[in-house]
């Protein structure tokens, strides 16, 4: 049986890193022998400074695994009451100055300034040169100085020394609260670039991932196909008649695992497939971003969804006894975004927009605006459209608005319909 070893830094080899200690060759070889004796197939051998590694790793992407590994490592911080009692003994004006000078001094240390006087307390941390790693270092120093627990994002939630000091002072002198509030300071950052850290998708042609979408585009595959067989449409004609019987369809749109999301079978039947797809895609995007969904619960994360029509209710309405009590939430456009916020515990804006073909684009635009204005610090943005009935096809056919070959040619000179 083969054994794969991911090695940490060896001494005397130029492999040292800021969050790992170097291993003496003799120690490393002894560890290798032990690994071989244990018959492990894959492992890592390294001497890790867990406290430093945990703070740096957690700054980029919160991880329950790292949190459990570091669970027993306590910070050498004073009790919250000690610092708070010292503040209470000061006049109000002096309290404000003391906390601000504490923050200012720690900022100077983290950035390497000789004195706190070099720090402009009204300037943003970003303009001062902070990144995710130095932000966590500042958070750790403030925790050690005050005993107050704070999330890794606190420097971004309160983006100037004055805002951070004010909030810290409130927590220290408040009614026994030792945690930072989830309220986010809405300081506009109009020139700040927005990072896309994850993507998931479902598209016609059997596309279930961004990689498959790229392969489809690269190969020039035609994803237009015949009407789906499982939606109860009258494919022989009649009221569902349409001059063109082809389009872009998700043949797996009916597939859904409600138990995974804690949803009852009765409620799942009432849910528009668009809501189901959004739930699945959102979970996948968290996985692809390397973020545990539970880590975002209570965070100011926004949800912006584009949609175009909710005709599923017409189908479920024919058998109301199967979905009684869930029809309203199952078909409402507003719930498309609200359900995501509720399921994942997100506390930023939740907005559903319908601007026809541009719905998803507008949703992304609104998400970018909200991020730059400070309404939220992370956002889910996208859209979903599933035709539950052939009504739209029939209507467009009567108008003569369908492309003759069933293929929309947006922005092309030969465009002849949708």
Q: Among residues 23, 47, 69, which one ends one of the domains?
A: 69
Question: H or E stretch including 226?
Answer: strand 225-226
Distance in angstroms (rounded) separating the CA atoms of residues 282 and 287: 9
pLDDT of residue 365: 96
Question: Is residue 74 pLDDT above 90, yes or no?
Answer: no
Of 77-91, 110-124, 145-159, which range is least confident? 77-91
Asked, for residue 39, whether it belongs to a domain, the answer is yes
Asked, for residue 203, whether it belongs to a domain, the answer is no
Average pLDDT over residues 52-80: 51
Of 101-110, 354-363, 405-414, which range is least confident? 405-414
Query: Do 53 and 25 belong to one domain?
Result: yes
Say how many C-beta atoms besides its own lie within 10 A of residue 142's C-beta: 24
Q: Report in angstroms the alpha-carbon separations of 162 from 59, 118, 120, 124, 169.
A: 22, 15, 9, 9, 10
Q: Report in angstroms the alpha-carbon separations of 122 from 18, 119, 133, 267, 289.
A: 31, 9, 21, 50, 33
Asked, for residue 200, whether it belongs to a domain, the answer is no
Query: Do 128 and 166 belong to one domain?
Result: yes
Of 18-32, 61-75, 276-290, which range is least confident? 61-75
pLDDT of residue 60: 45
Average pLDDT over residues 237-245: 57
Distance in angstroms (rounded) separating the CA atoms of residues 372 and 395: 40
Asked, for residue 137, whether it belongs to a domain, the answer is yes
Angle at 377 between CA 291 and CA 167, to 5 degrees: 110
- Residue 182: pLDDT band by 50, 70, 90 thresholds? very low
Query: Do 332 and 364 belong to one domain?
Result: yes
- Residue 382: pLDDT band by 50, 70, 90 thresholds? very high
If one counts the domains in the chain, the total is: 3
Q: Which of 33-42, 180-189, 193-202, 243-252 has the highest mean pLDDT?
A: 193-202
- Kindly report, residue by residue over 14-58, the tens digit of the pLDDT: 554 444 567 778 777 888 877 777 777 778 888 776 665 655 555
Q: Is the dihedral of CA 28, 34, 37, 39 positive or negative?
A: negative
Give the domain CATH number at 310: 3.40.47.10
Which among 119, 136, 124 has a CA at the least distance from the CA of 188? 124
pLDDT of residue 75: 44
Query: Do 279 and 364 belong to one domain?
Result: yes
Range of the domain at 256: 210-223+250-386
Say how many C-beta atoms besides its own lie within 10 A of residue 127's C-beta: 11
Average pLDDT over residues 111-120: 90
pLDDT, averaged across the chain: 82
Of 141-145, 228-232, 240-244, 299-303, which range is least confident? 240-244
Q: What is the DSSP code string of 376-402?
A: -SEEEEEEE---SSSHHHHHHHHHT-S
pLDDT of residue 104: 94
Query: Do 103 and 128 belong to one domain?
Result: yes
Distance in angstroms (rounded) separating the CA atoms of residues 132 and 135: 5
Percent of the chain whose predicted confidence (pLDDT) is above 90: 34
Distance in angstroms (rounded) separating the CA atoms of residues 324 and 260: 22
This prediction has a pTM of 0.58
Of 22-31, 146-155, 234-243, 390-399, which range is least confident? 234-243
Query: Do 262 and 142 belong to one domain?
Result: no
- CA dihedral defined by 345, 350, 355, 360, rounded to 10 degrees? -40
Query: Do 351 and 282 belong to one domain?
Result: yes
- Residue 103: pLDDT band by 50, 70, 90 thresholds? very high
pLDDT of residue 396: 86
């Amino acid at each position: 049986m083969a054994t794969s070893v991911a090695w940490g830094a060896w001494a005397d080899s130029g492999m040292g890193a800021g969050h790992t200690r170097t291993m003496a060759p003799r120690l490393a070889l002894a560890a290798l022998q032990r690994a071989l004796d244990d018959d492990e197939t894959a492992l890592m051998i390294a001497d890790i400074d867990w406290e430093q590694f945990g703070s740096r790793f957690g700054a980029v992407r919160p991880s329950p695994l790292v949190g459990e590994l570091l669970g027993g490592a306590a910070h050498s911080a004073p009790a919250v009451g000690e610092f708070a009692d010292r503040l209470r003994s000061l006049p109000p004006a002096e309290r404000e100055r003391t906390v601000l000078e504490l923050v200012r001094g720690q900022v100077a240390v983290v950035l390497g300034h000789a004195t706190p006087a070099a720090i402009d307390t009204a300037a943003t941390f970003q303009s001062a040169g902070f990144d995710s790693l130095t932000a966590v270092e500042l958070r750790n120093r403030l925790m050690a100085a005050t005993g107050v627990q704070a999330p890794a994002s606190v420097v971004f939630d309160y983006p100037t020394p004055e805002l951070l000091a004010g909030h810290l002072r409130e927590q220290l002198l408040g009614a026994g609260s030792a945690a930072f509030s989830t309220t986010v300071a809405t300081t506009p950052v109009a020139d700040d670039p927005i990072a896309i850290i994850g993507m998931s998708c479902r598209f016609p042609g059997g596309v279930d991932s961004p990689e498959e979408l790229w392969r489809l585009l690269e190969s020039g595959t035609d994803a237009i196909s015949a009407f789906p067989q499982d939606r109860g449409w009258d494919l022989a004609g009649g009221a569902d008649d349409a001059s063109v019987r082809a389009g872009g369809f998700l043949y797996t749109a009916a597939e859904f695992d409600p138990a995974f999301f804690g949803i009852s079978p009765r409620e799942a039947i009432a849910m528009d497939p668009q809501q189901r797809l959004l739930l699945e895609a959102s979970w996948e995007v968290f996985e692809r971003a390397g973020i545990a969904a539970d880590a975002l619960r209570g965070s100011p994360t926004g949800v912006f969804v584009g949609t175009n029509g909710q005709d599923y209710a017409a189908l479920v309405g024919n058998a109301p006894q199967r979905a009684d009590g869930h029809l309203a939430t199952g078909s409402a456009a507003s719930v498309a975004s609200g359900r995501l916020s509720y399921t994942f515990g997100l506390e930023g804006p939740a907005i559903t927009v319908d601007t026809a073909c541009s719905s998803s684009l507008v949703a992304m635009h609104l998400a970018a605006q909200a991020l730059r204005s400070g309404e939220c610090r992370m956002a889910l943005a996208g859209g979903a459209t599933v035709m539950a009935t052939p009504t739209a096809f029939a209507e467009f056919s009567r108008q003569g608005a369908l492309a003759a070959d069933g293929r929309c040619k947006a922005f092309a000179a030969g465009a002849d319909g949708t």
